[in-house]
Amino acid sequence: MLPSRAVGIVSIIGVSNGDWNKSMTSNEHEEAYEALIQFLYRAPIGLLQIQRDGHIEMLNPMSAQLLMPLSPDGNLENFFDVIQLSAPELKGMCQQFSEKNGVICDAIRIKPATSQHAMRVPEVLSVGMLKVDDNNVMVVVTDVTQEVEREQRNLARRIDSATRIDALTRLPNRIAVRDMLQQTMQRTKTLTNDVSAVLQINFDRFKQVNDSFGNATGDEAIRLVAQRLRSAVRSNSRPAAQIFMPEPVARVGADEFVVLLDSINDFSVVEVVAKRLLNLLEKPYYIGQNEIIASFSIGIVSLSGNISDVDEILGDASIATSAAKANGGAQFVVFEESMREVAARRGGIESELRIGLEQEQLFIVYQPVVGFLSDGLIDRSTGVEALIRWQHPEYGVVGPVNFIEIAEKSNLINVLGRYVLRKACSDFMEWKVSLGALAPRLLAVNLSRAQLAQDNFDTTLSDILRETNMPPEQLQLEITESFAAQDADIQSQLRKLKKLGVKLALDDFGTGYSSLSSLHLLPIDTVKIDRSFVSLADTSAHHEILIEVTVKVARSLGMTTVAEGIETEGQSRIVQQYGCDKGQGYLFSKPLVASELLKWIVAPT
C-alpha cells in the first residue's frame, strides 16, 4: 500500500473511493484503486499537487528525481522556489490565472538552472500546470531532452535538405549534384560496361527573356524548363532497379541545369537523349500573353574516363557548353580534352586583357569612309570608323576578333566600350580644330549587345557626349543586324539613343535575320552592305541584284547606304553604279592611327 499522501493526487484528478463502479465488490474496488495509485506513483513523468502559492502537497518519485537537481537548498517544499532560477515566470502565471479552473500553461520548455550538488540534470524539462480549484494546482514535469534532440536532428536534416534544393524549381541544386556525381563515379568504376554521363544544359539568351518580359516571366520560364526536363528524364525506358539517382535533374545556376544519366548501355544513347531534350526544350513556352521561343546549348561529359574530381567534371561540362554556345547555340557538344587548352588560353587572355586595360595597351585606329562623287572621285572627309586594337607585349598588335568575345563574357566589354567612345569622340573634336573644314564629318563606333543590354547605356552615352563636346548628330553608332532585327529590347534601347540625336547604322546587312521588308521597323539611318556581298559584286549577277535592291529599299526609307570591304576598282564601280552613297575598304585605305589618318585626309587625290 502506498503512503496516504499519494492518495491526494487521485482526488485532484477527480477520482475518489466513492466514484468507483457501484457494481464492484469491495475487494475489486480496493484492487482497482491500488492499481491506479501504483500507476500514478510509478508513472515515467513527474506529477505534483501544489497549492497556488507553490507549496508542494504531493509528488511522485519521478517529480523528486527531476526537480531535486534544481533546488538551491536541496529541499522540495515549494515548487516555485525550486523552479525560480529556471522558470521564474511560472509563479506569476499561476497567481494571475483568474479562471475557476483550467490549463494555466501547457508543456512549457525550460532549460534547468542546476544547483551545485546536482549530479545528473535533464537538459530540457517540459512543465504543464492545471488549475483544479481555487487552491489546488496539478503540475506535470517531463524530461524532454531526447525529444528535443530528436527535433534538432530532424531540423538539421530539413535544413540540410533545404540547402540542397533549389527554391524556384524544387530540383536538387549544385551541392546535391556534387554528392550525386561522387556516388555515380564510384558506381561506374565497379561496372565495366556501365556508361554514365553529365549533360549541362544552358538556356541561350535567358537574360534577354528577363530584360524583355520581366523577372517574373523569366522565373516561370525556368520552372517550365525544369518540368520538361524532369518529365523527359523520368520517362526513360530504363528498368527501375537500374536507376541509381532518385532525381537525375538539377538546377545548378540561374539559367543552367544538369542531367545525370546512369546505367546507359552505350554512349550513343546519351547523344540520342541530348537530341530529344533539345527538341523538347525548344518548343514554345506560353506564359500569360507571351509566347517565348528559346534555344538551349548542351555540353556532355562521359564519366567512364579516369577523372575522379567532381569539380573537374562540372568544369569540363561547362567548357563543352560554352563551345556549343560559341557555335551558335541550339546544339550539343561532347567534351574533348583539347577543349581544356582552349578554355585555359581564353582564361589567360581575359587576365592579360585586364592588365592591358590598366596599362593602356589598347588603342584606336580609324578606317576612312569615303563619299562617292561624280566622275569617280571620292570625298575623303566623309567619315571614319573607330576600331579597337591591342598592343600585346608578346604577340604585337592583336585585332578585336581575338578578344572582343572574351571581353563580352567577362564583363570587360563595358569598360572597353566606354574607353573607345570617349577616346574616339575626343580625337574627333581635336581633328575639328586641326583640320577645320577638312575634318571628318561623321564618326562611326561599333556597339556590342552587352553595351546595349545596360539599362543606363543612354545615360552613359549622354555623359560622354557632354564631356567631349561631341555633336550627337555627328556620331554614328553601329549595331550588327543579327541581333537588332530579332530583339525587341534592343530595338527599344535604340529608340532611346535616337532621342539623344545620334545616328544609327545597321552593320553587316545581309548576313543576319532581318529582311528588306522589315527594314522600316528599325530606327536606322544607314545600312552597311556586308563585305560578303561586295566581294562578289563584280563576279556574281546574283550579288549585283542584291546590292541594287538593298540600295533602292534603303533609299525609299530615307536611309543612306555604305558598301563595306571594297578592295577592287570593279567592286567600287558596281556599288556606285547602283547608287551606293559611301564606300569603305582597303581600296581606299586600311585602318590608320590618328596621325596617319590626318595625313591621308589632306593627301592630294
Average pLDDT of the segment spanning 37-61: 86
* pLDDT, tens only, 265-276: 788 889 999 999
Amino acid making up residue 340: R
Q: Give the pLDDT confidence score for residue 241 in this predicted structure.
A: 35
- pLDDT computed for residue 229 by the predictor: 94
For 210-219, write each residue's pLDDT tens digit.
877 888 999 9
> CATH fold of 43-147, please?
Beta-Lactamase (3.30.450)
Ranked by mean pLDDT, the top range of 34-48, 71-85, 202-216 is: 71-85
The amino acid present at 285, given as its one-letter code, is Y
- Cα–Cα nearest to 509, from 547, 456, 535: 547
Strands annotated E in 55-181: 56-59, 102-110, 125-131, 136-143
Would strands 378-392 and 443-446 be described as parallel, antiparallel, or unpaired? parallel
Listed residue (211, 231, 234, 212) closest to 223, CA to CA: 231
CA torsion angle 592 596 598 601 (round to 10): -70
Top pLDDT among 116 and 557 is at 557
Weakest mean pLDDT among 103-112, 427-436, 508-517? 508-517
Judge whether residue 18 has pLDDT over 90.
no
CATH entry 3.40.50.10860 includes domain 349-602: no
Q: What is the residue extent of each domain of the chain?
A: 43-147, 164-336, 349-602
- The answer on pLDDT for 502 being more than 90 is yes
Cell numbers at residue 203, please?
538556356
Contact 259, 300 (CB under 8 A): no
Over residues 219-263, the pLDDT tens digits come to 999 999 999 999 888 644 343 333 344 568 999 988 999 999 887
More confident residue, 512 or 328: 328
* CATH T-level topology, domain 164-336: Alpha-Beta Plaits (3.30.70)
Alpha-carbon distance of 140 to 95, in angstroms, equals 17
Helices (H), 100-167: 145-163
**3-state DSSP assignment of residue 264:** strand
Q: What is the pLDDT of residue 589?
A: 95
pLDDT confidence bin for 306, thresholds 50/70/90: low
Q: How confident is the model at residue 511 (pLDDT cuts 50, 70, 90)?
A: low
Q: Does residue 23 carry a pLDDT above 80?
A: no
Say how far apart CA 230 and CA 245 lie, in whole Å.
13
For 62, other C-beta atoms within 10 Å of its C-beta total: 19
Residue 79 — very low, low, confident or very high, per pLDDT cuts 50/70/90? Answer: very high
Please, which residues bridge with residue 333 across strands?
A: 299
Which residue is associated with the grid cell 464492484?
Answer: 24
User: In this predicted structure, what is the pLDDT of residue 575?
Assistant: 93
> What mean pLDDT, rounded, does the chain reach?
83
Tell me: pLDDT of 351 over 60: yes
Cβ neighbors of 387 (< 8 A, separation 6 or more) are 364, 365, 366, 367, 400, 446, 591
Ranking 140-144, 206-210, 244-248, 586-590 by mean pLDDT, the lowest is 244-248
Sheet holding 136-143, edge to edge: 56-59, 46-51, 136-143, 125-131, 102-110
Q: Is the pLDDT of residue 78 over 50?
A: yes
Q: How many CB atoms lie within 10 A of CB 264?
A: 21
The whole-number pLDDT of residue 24 equals 60
DSSP string covering 333-352: EE--THHHHHHHHHHHHHHH
**DSSP character at residue 109:** E
The continuous run of DSSP H or E covering 251 comes out as strand 249-253
pLDDT bracket for residue 364 (50, 70, 90): very high
Query: What's the confidence (pLDDT) of residue 594?
Result: 95
CA distance to 23, 420, 439, per residue, from 502 (Å): 107, 16, 18
CA distances from 285 to 228, 312, 384 (A): 11, 33, 44
Rounded to whole angstroms, what are the CA distances from 315 to 52, 197, 309, 411, 564? 70, 14, 10, 20, 40
Q: In the beta sheet, which residues pair with residue 251?
A: 257
CB neighbour list of residue 171: distance below 8 Å, 6 or more residues apart: 165, 226, 230, 247, 249, 250, 251, 257
| 525 pLDDT above the threshold of 70 | yes
CA distance 521 to 216: 28
**pLDDT at position 405:** 75
Strand, helix or coil for residue 318: helix
Q: What is the pLDDT of residue 382?
A: 96
- pTM, two decimals, is 0.51
